[in-house]
Structure 1
Amino acid sequence: MRIFLLSGQSNMAGRGGVHQRRWDGVVPPECAPDPSILRLSASLAWEEAHEPLHADIDTTKTCGVGPGMAFARAILPELQPPGTAGVGLVPCAVGGTAIREWARGEHLYEQMVRRARAATECGEIEAVLWYQGESDAESDAETAAYQGNVERLIANIRADLGMPHLPFIQVALASGNKRNIEKVREAQLSINLLNVVTVDAMGLPLNEDNLHLTTEAQVKLGESLAQAYISNFLQATC
């Protein structure tokens, strides 16, 4: 399998279709299950993937549609030779989390690494998909430290997985604290490391909370992440 880590906070975990803490259950065709797309459950078992991907990972909040399924379905036809490779998704995102909670030694980071290592028994990790930063836009101090913290996160993941060139595809924020969102976005867009690509979510439609992406937006984001992977990394791995 081609394995992808899905990590960060709520917009990666998925809130598409969630209204007043309830998911409407609508799964667009771009996010429909496919036997070639699997997910690693909280108990480290592979199973056919379906929305909500993070239901047993981000357990204290209501999960809906995220970008993971749309991403997987978009890259599946591009894998060569056709029909010989599946996609394995490893959900790790947890809503409301700040970058400091993803530091080496913290629970979320160690859980992500543990899940990644378990996943490699069935394939190779192709990339980390990362969407996080809204929580850090709430604090001037955390905003100022954001770029360095993300760069440290990337270095730590690569070192701990023994993959110094592991692709890291991050999402630049679409929402957040008005005072600091542009500063966090600037930090995200300023990261200039080998095999780090940024997909910009700004302008995608938001739910009525003006924080979380709609189902339609999550589909578009997943497809944009897929294009980033195909354009920048797939040729090298085929």
Structure 2
Amino acid sequence: MRIFVLSGQSNMAGRGGVHHRRWDGVVPPECAPLPSILRLSAALDWEEAREPLHADIDKAKTCGVGPGMAFARAILPQLQPPAPAPAPGAAAGAGVGLVPCAVGGTAIREWARGEPLYEQMVRRARAATEYGEIEALLWYQGESDAESDAAAAAYQGNVERLIANVREDLGMPELPFIQVALASGNKRNFEKVRKAQLSINLPNVVTVDAIGLALNDDNLHLTTESQVKLGEILAQAYMGNFLQATS
């Protein structure tokens, strides 16, 4: 099973189709479930992946469509050999395993080594490796760090530290890390955080840009259509930069 960790805050957890704290329940075909795409539940059980992927992880908020399913469906045809279709709940033979870890409204300091969110992410990633290899960590976070000058100024260093820590703790010094540069944030430091994200220059770190993708009426979270596009952008980044190396 090809395993991908999904982490960060609300736009990774998914708010597509969420309006006034209610999800409209619309699942586009690009995000429809497939038997060969599984997710690791909060209880560390493998099950057929369905939107909202983060419903039992980001429990304090209303989750909707995120980029994870669109990403998985986009890469699935490129995985060789073709994956068989297991029964729901069966890990063996699955094509893609998604490990949801994102929690809305969280700042980068909450993802530091020793903090509960970081430790939960590492624990879930380790549990997933019993059934396959981690191919990449997909990261979309930073809106909360645009709220203060100090957080924005420290952002690049904190993300670089996060990358180093998670690679060390998982024993994967070359673990691919695909991050998303912010598409939104009405705070004064939005551009500073984006600049920090786009300035990260580390081996096996790729940044995709979400700027210009359509937002929900809250002017913060990506729409369902935008989440599908982002998932496909992330898939292209993975396939273009890492698929051959990990096949």
User: Normalised by the size of structure 1, how large is the TM-score?
Assistant: 0.99
1:224 to 2:230 alignment = no
Query: What does residue 11 of structure 1 align with?
Result: 11
Letter of the structure 2 residue corresponding to residue 103 of structure 1: A
Per-residue deviation, 1:172: 0.1
Query: What does residue 141 of structure 1 align with?
Result: 150
> In the aligned structure 1, how far is the partner of 2:204 from the partner of 2:218?
33
Per-residue deviation, 1:81: 1.5
Query: What does residue 2 of structure 1 align with?
Result: 2
Query: What does residue 91 of structure 2 align with?
Result: none
Query: What does residue 62 of structure 2 align with?
Result: 62
Letter of the structure 2 residue corresponding to residue 133 of structure 1: G
Query: What does residue 174 of structure 2 align with?
Result: 165
> In the aligned structure 1, how far is the partner of 2:206 from the partner of 2:80?
23
1:104 paired residue among 83, 90, 113: 113
SS at match of 2:7: strand
Per-residue deviation, 1:178: 3.8
1:196 to 2:190 alignment = no
Query: What does residue 187 of structure 1 align with?
Result: 196
Query: What does residue 81 of structure 2 align with?
Result: 81
Percent identical among aligned pairs is 87
Deviations 1:17-67 (A, max 9, x none): 000000000000000000000000000000000000000000000000000
Per-residue deviation, 1:82: 1.9
Q: How many positions carry a matched residue from both structures?
A: 238
Letter of the structure 2 residue corresponding to residue 13 of structure 1: A
> In the aligned structure 2, how far is the partner of 1:110 from the partner of 1:91?
14
> In the aligned structure 1, how far is the partner of 2:120 from the partner of 2:81?
33
1:90 to 2:99 alignment = yes
> In the aligned structure 1, how far is the partner of 2:98 from the partner of 2:206?
19
> In the aligned structure 1, how far is the partner of 2:125 from the partner of 2:185?
29
Query: What does residue 51 of structure 1 align with?
Result: 51
Per-residue deviation, 1:177: 3.1
Gaps of 5+ in 2: 85-93
1:35 to 2:31 alignment = no
Per-residue deviation, 1:155: 0.1
Per-residue deviation, 1:83: 2.5
User: Normalised by the size of structure 2, how large is the TM-score?
Assistant: 0.95
> In the aligned structure 2, how far is the partner of 1:68 from the partner of 1:122?
19
Deviations 1:50-98 (A, max 9, x none): 0000000000000000000000000000001223551000000000000
- What RMSD, in angstroms, separates the aligned Cα atoms of the two structures? 0.7
Letter of the structure 2 residue corresponding to residue 198 of structure 1: T
Gaps of 5+ in 1: none
1:151 to 2:160 alignment = yes
> In the aligned structure 2, how far is the partner of 1:178 from the partner of 1:3?
34
Per-residue deviation, 1:179: 1.6
2:125 paired residue among 110, 113, 116: 116
Letter of the structure 2 residue corresponding to residue 158 of structure 1: R
